[in-house]
Amino acid sequence: MSSRVQKRLLISVFAAAIVAALAVLVAPSSPAAAHGNVVGPASRNYGCFDRWGSRFQDPVMATEDPMCWQAWQANPNAMWNWNGLFREGVAGQHETVIPDGQLCSAGHTESGRYNAMDTVGDWKATSIGNSFTVSLFDGARHGADYIRVYVTKVGYNPITTPLKWSDLELIKTVPNTPAAQWTQQLSNGVQIDIPASVSGRSGRAMVYTIWQASHLDQSYYFCSDVNFGGSQPSSSPSSSASSSPSSSPSSSPSTSPSASASPSVSPSVSTPPVTGACAAAYGVTSQWQGGFQGEVKVTAGSAAIKSWTVTLGFSGTPPIQQTWNATLTTSGNTASATNVNYNGSVAAGASTTFGFLGTGTSSTPTVSCTATT
């Protein structure tokens, strides 16, 4: 990336959750200034940002999500800059440039910022079926010269074994695809959903994605921990292409949050009372000058549901820029969010969530939920 472009990039939304307390961090830029990442099944650094970005100092992470805890302790900028995990000048020689054991950090790119992504252990895994979708968010509309999706071979154990190139099996290649052919995300950002499939797989594995951006020789590398055939995990992206660190700065933020800083965030969205097939509750999980992060919790009623739709009614044009864990459409003052392929089925009394980034100051919308059983 040229220095001219780098100077235009702002630090991520790590500032968003504590800007009121510190008053020294710059506000997040528009997703248009972003690069991107695999948001489903969530890559390691995006998943850690998604789950913990609004409460990254919460010590409960050490026991609930120890691999993310070690990543945050090693270098929090790997999460604030979740969309900057790339190398330049690889010239297609991925296996030559990226050594075995360093695939998840793009060969210790960015002076080692992402090294903790290579740490072997029990990372939170997204449960998927043998047919699944890889969702790649492109905040800067780079498009792709190509995208390659790999799955680790049968017998590979990501909990105990560093990832090597020989562990991977290529299952999908997407050829040159301009950003204009990707799906608009209510901002200048776009997303491509890549269908993929394997046969007869069960248990833990890793999905590995290489995105060769089209604007220059810039290669992105993403490790997504998955569980074939497992139950829907609580760690599937719960809140955020989240407070979108929409930029990849050339250096670490000069000011780090103090240990005593209290984030300006709301507690987790409470479970709504259910009177029909489903119910939905809305909450704001973080806010900053000029924007906020919203979350909606969808809860099934007395019977399991197969799919759901949440309708949000705003007083004006919906302020939503970017969503995750749902497909969103707008009409007038109304936004409608429908489930994506991995979170439509919800057991009786259970819940799932989707989130979004909004502009301005949050106003509480009316919320309703419908579902098929």
Confidence check: pLDDT of 245 > 70: no
Mean pLDDT score, 25-43:
63
What total of structural domains would you count in the chain? 2
Instruction: Give yes or no: residues 224 and 330 share one domain.
Output: no
Q: What is the pLDDT of residue 186?
A: 61
Instruction: Give yes or no: residues 212 and 327 share one domain.
Output: no
Confidence check: pLDDT of 218 > 60: yes
Q: What is the pLDDT of residue 216?
A: 84
Decide if 354 is inside a domain: yes
Tell me the per-residue pLDDT of 286-301, one tens digit each, with 9 for 90 and over. Answer: 766 677 878 899 999 9
Q: What is the pLDDT of residue 253?
A: 33
Decide if 242 is inside a domain: no
Lowest mean pLDDT among 133-137, 161-165, 215-219: 215-219
Q: What is the pLDDT of residue 187?
A: 57
CB atoms within 10 A of CB 333: 14
Mean pLDDT score, 123-143:
94
Q: What is the pLDDT of residue 256?
A: 34
Dihedral angle of Cα 168, 238, 79, 44, to the nearest 10 degrees: -10
Rounded to whole angstroms, the Cα distance separating 112 from 275 reads 51
Decide if 40 is inside a domain: yes
Which residue range(s) make up the domain with 18? Answer: 3-228
Instruction: Give yes or no: residues 69 and 131 share one domain.
Output: yes
Instruction: Give yes or no: residues 212 and 345 share one domain.
Output: no
Decide if 87 is inside a domain: yes
Confidence check: pLDDT of 248 > 70: no
Give me the CATH number covering residue 199. 2.70.50.50
Residue 229 or 68, more confident: 68
Instruction: Give yes or no: residues 29 and 106 share one domain.
Output: yes
Instruction: Give yes or no: residues 24 and 123 share one domain.
Output: yes
Instruction: Give yes or no: residues 221 and 287 share one domain.
Output: no
Instruction: Give yes or no: residues 289 and 201 share one domain.
Output: no
Q: Is 19 exposed, middle or buried (0-12, 13-18, 19+ CB in 10 A)?
A: buried
Percent of the chain scoring above 70 in pLDDT: 77
Instruction: Give yes or no: residues 47 and 123 share one domain.
Output: yes
Rounded to whole angstroms, the Cα distance separating 254 from 143 reads 31
Mean pLDDT score, 358-371:
88
Give me the CATH number covering residue 303. 2.60.40.290
Percent of the chain scoring above 90 in pLDDT: 57
Confidence check: pLDDT of 47 > 70: yes
Q: Average pLDDT, whole number, for the chain?
A: 80
Decide if 182 is inside a domain: yes
Q: What is the pLDDT of residue 358?
A: 82
Q: How confident is the model at residue 238 (pLDDT cuts 50, 70, 90)?
A: very low
Q: Which residues contact 254 (CB under 8 A, 6 or more apart)?
A: none
Which of the listed residues 209, 228, 247 is the one where a domain comes to its end? 228
Q: What is the pLDDT of residue 353?
A: 86
Q: How confident is the model at residue 213 (pLDDT cuts 50, 70, 90)?
A: very high
The label of the residue with tokens 């650094």 reads 45
Instruction: Give yes or no: residues 20 and 87 share one domain.
Output: yes
Which range in 53-62, 190-199, 318-327 is most confidently predicted, on average pLDDT? 190-199
Tell me the per-residue pLDDT of 74-120, one tens digit each, with 9 for 90 and over. Answer: 999 899 889 899 999 999 999 999 999 999 999 999 999 999 999 99
Q: Is 258 exposed, middle or buried (0-12, 13-18, 19+ CB in 10 A)?
A: exposed
Mean pLDDT score, 33-45:
87
Rounded to whole angstroms, the Cα distance separating 266 from 69 reads 21
Q: What is the pLDDT of residue 295?
A: 86
Decide if 282 is inside a domain: yes
Which of the listed residues 163, 193, 228 is the one where a domain comes to its end? 228
Q: What is the pLDDT of residue 230?
A: 62
- Tokens (6 digits) for 139: 């905040």
Instruction: Give yes or no: residues 213 and 282 share one domain.
Output: no
DSSP string, 317-363: S--EEEEESSEEEEETTEEEEE--TTTS-B-TT-EEEEEEEEESS--
Lowest mean pLDDT among 32-36, 276-280, 300-304, 347-351: 32-36
Cα Rg for the chain, rounded, in angstroms? Answer: 19
Mean pLDDT score, 222-241:
62
pTM of the predicted structure, to 2 decimals: 0.59
Instruction: Give yes or no: residues 219 and 327 share one domain.
Output: no
Decide if 210 is inside a domain: yes
Decide if 284 is inside a domain: yes
